[in-house]
């Protein structure tokens, strides 16, 4: 496991890449400044987020901060290339409100991985990244990711060009296979280890413990369902509508939280930090007040009796 000192809370910068809705440059800066003001010093981005917009905005913001005071991760696997056919349209098929005059091109080759890093450095203006994640390998070729992309990332680490490498995915099979290569320092688990559901607990978490891999836990609100104290019928879950059985379980969890005077979002943020494999929680946010609120939720003291009550009711694993 890498000895990179990740803080308990990080910011996932998809929103400043215009995820779901467009932000002005000033609005994006205000979100990032709110994260900084709350003491957040770990920022995660990707070329995928807004076709490079997230990387550009994050880099511009961090240029105003001392490089030694923050950590940055970005992702590899998708190169950005001109897309004349997309001129005049938006990238809404990928949920980003940005011009679609650029397209994503999968490339898991060693040369493609190196090119991806160089282009991300140019977009951010940074001289290095602290962490590099292979992004969603199962959506292109998991085999190629394991056999080509991960060894290429390991080579960058061996040459001192990055401190830690990993894989980011929502797919437990891809996460497990990646850990078992014994090449990783970190695993970004997106939405598979949350207060609502814990499919990563079956095999992924034990494998991380066995191989000394730390977890960067993302999407702990399951795309929003756990981000409110009273999730309703229209709750968003994994970028879509919440299934009835999942929503019912979350509403039952929310009721127990209310009995203990604990906010559901606070419980969702802190739940997985109880596992020693989880190094940090990465949250998004498109408004400054969301960053302030999440930071406050992380400061709340949650009684152990709450987790015990949820376990007794079989709402979380014992």
Query: Which amino acids are annotated catalytic?
Result: 49
Q: Calculate the alpha carbon distances from 83 to 8, 89, 95, 107, 146 in Å.
A: 39, 11, 17, 16, 29
* Backbone φ, ψ for residue 194 (5° rounding): -135, 175
DSSP state of 243: P
Q: How many CB atoms lie within 10 A of CB 127?
A: 7
What does the alpha-carbon distance between residue 77 and residue 83 come to, in Å, rounded to a whole number? 18
Nearest to 298 by CA among 255, 253, 275, 268: 268
**Between vectors from CA 49 to CA 235 and to CA 213, what angle results, nearest 5°?**
85
Beta carbons of 163 and 157 less than 8 angstroms apart: yes
Give the 3-state secondary structure of residue 26: helix
Beta carbons of 131 and 53 less than 8 angstroms apart: no
Sequence-separated (6 or more) residues with CB below 8 Å from residue 93: none
In Å, how far from its chain's centre is CA 298? Answer: 17
Nearest to 282 by CA among 202, 186, 208, 199: 186
Q: How many CA atoms lie within 13 A of 249 on its CB side?
A: 17
């Amino acid at each position: 496991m890498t000895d990179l000192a990740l803080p308990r809370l990080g910011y996932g910068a998809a929103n400043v890449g215009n995820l779901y809705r467009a932000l002005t440059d000033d609005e994006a800066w205000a979100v990032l400044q709110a994260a900084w003001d709350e003491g957040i010093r770990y920022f995660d981005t990707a070329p995928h987020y807004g076709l490079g917009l997230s990387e550009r905005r994050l880099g511009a913001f961090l240029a105003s901060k001392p490089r030694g005071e923050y950590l940055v991760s970005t992702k590899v696997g998708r190169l950005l290339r001109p897309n004349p056919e997309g001129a005049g349209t938006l990238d809404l098929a990928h949920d980003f409100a940005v011009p679609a005059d650029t397209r994503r091109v999968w490339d898991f080759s060693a040369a493609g991985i190196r090119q991806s890093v160089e282009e991300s450095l140019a977009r951010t203006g940074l001289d290095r990244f602290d962490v590099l994640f292979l992004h969603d390998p199962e959506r292109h070729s998991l085999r190629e990711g394991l056999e080509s992309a991960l060894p290429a990332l390991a080579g960058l680490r061996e040459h001192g060009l990055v401190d830690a490498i990993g894989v980011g995915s929502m797919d437990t099979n891809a996460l497990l296979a990646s850990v078992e290569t014994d090449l990783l320092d970190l695993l970004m688990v997106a939405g598979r280890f949350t207060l609502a559901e814990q499919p990563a607990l079956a095999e992924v978490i034990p494998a991380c413990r066995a191989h000394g891999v730390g977890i960067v836990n993302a999407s702990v609100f399951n795309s929003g369902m756990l981000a409110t104290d009273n999730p309703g019928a229209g709750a968003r879950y994994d970028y879509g509508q919440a299934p009835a059985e999942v929503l019912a379980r979350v509403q039952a969890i929310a009721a127990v939280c209310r009995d203990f005077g604990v906010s559901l979002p606070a419980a969702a943020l802190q739940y997985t930090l109880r596992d020693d494999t989880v190094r940090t929680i990465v949250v998004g946010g498109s408004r400054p007040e969301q960053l302030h609120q999440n930071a406050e939720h992380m400061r709340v003291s949650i009684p152990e009796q709450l987790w015990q009550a949820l376990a007794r009711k079989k709402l979380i694993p014992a």
